[in-house]
Amino acid sequence: MKMSAKELDQMVVEKLKAEVKPAMGCTEPVAVALAVAKARELCLEDAPALYDDLRVSVSVSPNIFKNGLAVGIPGTDQVGLVIASALGLVSCHSARGLEVFSEVKPEDIKTAFDFIKAGKVKITIADTEKKVLVDAAVYKGTEAFGRAVIEDRHDQFVKLTSHRGELLTSASEVSHVQTHNPLYDLSISEILDIVERLPFEDIRFLLDGYAMNEEMANYGLSKPLGMKVGWTLEENTKKGLLSNDLMNRAMVLTAAASDARMSGASLPVMSSNGSGNNGLTAILPIVAYAKTHETSEDALARAAAISHLINSVIKHNIGRLSALCGCGVAAGTGASVAITWLMGGSRKSVEGAIQNMVANTTGMICDGAKVGCSLKLATSASAAVQSAILAISNVIVPSGNGIIGKTADETIINLGILSKNAMDTVDRVILDVMLEQVE
């Protein structure tokens, strides 16, 4: 049955609220710590005095493992899923959601390492085709246990059990197995039509992402962190080697935020469709635009909605986690469309921005979350501005060039075919290479 305009509007707002959330730290280790924390709470009913005799076993999908292998954990100088699991065991609380690391204290880190040294933390890679899967089981002695399973979204519990034999999953706690969202049946033009008519008050909350992500960028510019990409580019701008134009500003801000986040900065960012780096890439190029062009809060809220929704549509096609870099291919494209729209671009220009971005960034692979991601985010942010400017000037990659279709909608479908039919093999090879590097 066809949805009414009011139902479509409500569906889009609900989708934005579900997919645009604050997150502290890379969302793969966050998901692991979240699942472990929930399993511990089920095991112990969260009684701290009982923490001394615990062990945890976590099974994760290959994509979760890949993205969590080398990324910094907030509040620590450590990387990876083992420390994330241990912190979930000793200090995290599931009620914090994607900000589960926000209450980690120095003494928690020491306790976490004690558990690791005692061999009480085990991570394995699950044999699954699921992109997002975390299955955490916490045990106390031989009797008490709790199990929490996350699937499909980084904060979506699909199974909660304990030694009492109760199935604790309920509609209030869990968004059950995901059904097809009507959003993905809409054309790009239809999505923009909806965003343009939404009441401002319904999307005002999206403005929080600008302040939050810009704060992370400024933190990354305040001192050399991570790979120092943003900080170094900024220093060379001050020296006159780089200009302070829109393209470079977008690149500097986005890279600096990633530098800080990937190094484990204890600041939240506004994530997009399950990824903090996607959130940075979807928003910070727009921040750069707003710094030099007068832009109302109403327009900024709609631009954010456009960016997040385009990111969601593309990630739906390529997979929530993929061998393709979601920041480069999906979030950067969302930012480019939003900037094109802010510039007053026609629907043809908006579609042109998508054609240009897909033609430009599709070859960018995802080889896990790490400090080097700031280079990819810098590239994506720069390309987002470039693609928008070219599209506004009617310089658009023509259909028939590689995977570029007759319309942006066709191109996104082609991108999905590429990801689903070819990139799963690439994903396995990437993980094999990464594992060889750490052995």
Q: Domains along the chain?
A: 22-162 (3.30.1330), 182-438 (1.10.4100)
More confident residue, 435 or 361: 361
Query: Mean per-residue pLDDT for 340-365?
Result: 96
Residue pLDDT, tens place only, 146-163: 999 999 889 999 999 987
Under 8 Å between Cβ of 147 and 136: yes
Instruction: Assign 79 to helix, strand or coil.
Output: strand
46 pLDDT band (50/70/90 cuts)? low
Query: Could you tell me whether strands 133-140 and 54-60 are parallel, antiparallel, or unpaired per DSSP bridges?
Result: antiparallel
Residue pLDDT, tens place only, 292-345: 999 999 999 999 999 999 999 999 999 888 889 999 999 999 999 999 999 999
Residue 168 has pLDDT above 60, yes or no: no
Instruction: Assign 61 to helix, strand or coil.
Output: coil
CA distance 361 to 380: 7
Q: 92 φ, ψ to 5°? A: -85, 155
**Per this entry, what is the length of the chain?**
439
Q: What is the dihedral of CA 228, 232, 234, 236, to 10 degrees?
A: 180
Characterize 106-131 residue by residue with b for buried, 16 or more Cβ atoms within 10 angstroms of its Cβ, and e for exposed: eebbebbbebbeeebbebeebebebb
Query: Mean per-residue pLDDT for 267-277?
Result: 93
Partners of 139 in the beta sheet?
55, 145
Query: Mean per-residue pLDDT for 385-402?
Result: 97
177 pLDDT band (50/70/90 cuts)? very low
User: Residue 50: its pLDDT value, please?
Assistant: 57
Residue pLDDT, tens place only, 102-115: 888 888 899 899 99
User: Residue 418: its pLDDT value, please?
Assistant: 92
User: Residue 347: its pLDDT value, please?
Assistant: 96
